[in-house]
Amino acid sequence: MIGLKEALALPPEEVAALRSDLIARAKERSDLNAYIDLATSGTGVPIAIKDNINVKGWEITCASAILQGYIAPYDATAIEKLRQAGLAPLGRTNMDEFAMGSSTETSHYGKTLNPHDPTRVPGGSSGGSAAAVAAGIAIAALGSDTGGSIRQPAAFCGIVGMKPTYGRVSRYGLIAYGSSLDQIGPMTRSVEDAAILYNIIAGHDPKDSTSAPIPHQPISPEPDRTLRIGVVPNYVAQTSQAIQKAYQEAIQALEGAGHTIVEVEMMDAKYKIAAYYITAMAEASTNLSRYDGVRYGKRVEASSLKEMYKATRSQFGKEVQRRILLGTFVLSSGYYDAYYIKAQKARNLIQQEYAKLFQQVDLILTPVAPDVAFPFGSKKEPLEMYLSDLFTIGVNLAGLPAISLPIQEYEGLPVGLQLIAKAFDEKTLFDGAASLEREVAYKGVGQ
């Protein structure tokens, strides 16, 4: 399977043939359940799109029963930019319902399988996008990252997943989960392809009030640039043997490439988990309140207005209902100060910690998850699942850019790590990632 760079150089007739080939492959691998549906026609290099990004004229459901039948009335800004660059949507990829999950098990359309091992999760919430790219039924995809939802599935499926700085890519047309956390980003087979797709979708958008009014300069990764890279032993100590082994290999590879390794210490990740889930659930409660069957959402007819609200909102899955309830609780009178305000104070401390660390180093290397892809059904308690995000959520709370890339395989499963950069320093992020990618030379499914 060719990469994005090669696909963009194809003549129109070969692009059409590429779309047909990808659709045929996707149908052959329908067992993965990576796609919700496919577009059999389109003009441009085909790119898979997560089912929470508006594509005009397509159904968009966020993998939820409550939005079934809703047709997007406009293109998201990211989709407009794809079209302008000669790309076109290929299909809607499966996801955790309303992006709430770390395994793509909460989708109304059923779970997506990991191409490396069908008994294990592909990660989430962008699991469909990650599985499609890893299985060679997409050359690249767009995902969204609220607390690691691009980077964690990329790590589990053995591909590259990049979360831009908050405000660098427009959120206009992305159905909101946590408005102060969400970002659209690329999921590809290589760092170079991730940079290409990032360059296409990045930039200021006046339609998005959170879009940063900072000019975007196209980035080309330079793997020969030497950097100071921070490593975090106190985080690595909390991970499995597979992650620790990959981490040591990555450090050796970076040292071999001439980078300076600097040991740093970060605050206990449990504080980040607490601050993140309070913040995310509060914002989810607010954002999803509109789905009431009157303004938005598939209405369920009932004998009274109250019953109609209840029946309509009962279409939300259990995990979405849980987060709405918890978010409403932390925003309620009497608990707002005790929970939400404290979470915002903790968020500020997390941002300050990163700012201080980036005075010492150019990049920080951390795990993406505590372990490799876990078996379906193995995390039955919500808190177990939430801990999958232990090492990714701090990046979203601080609004920083980060990239996950595969380092090696452990018993047939990919092991990914992430690099983190300071805000709006995607250039350094891609330079470091390109260097690490060249040194480890990972080869896996679809590579």
State the catalytic residues: 50, 125, 149
Tokens of 292: 């009431």
Dihedral sign from CA coordinates of 352, 354, 356, 358 = negative
Residue tagged 């913040």 (tokens): 279
Cα separation, 193 vs 190, whole angstroms: 5
List strand residue ranges (DSSP E) for 104-231, in order. Answer: 140-145, 160-163, 183-188, 228-231
Closest CA to 60 of 75, 41, 46, 45: 75
Cα separation, 324 vs 286, whole angstroms: 8
- The DSSP H or E segment spanning 205 is none
Phi-psi label, residue 261: left if phi above 0, alpha if psi -120 to 50, beta otherwise: beta
Alpha helix segments (H runs only) across 29-167: 77-84, 127-134, 151-157
Cα separation, 29 vs 248, whole angstroms: 35
Closest CA to 87 of 192, 27, 9: 9
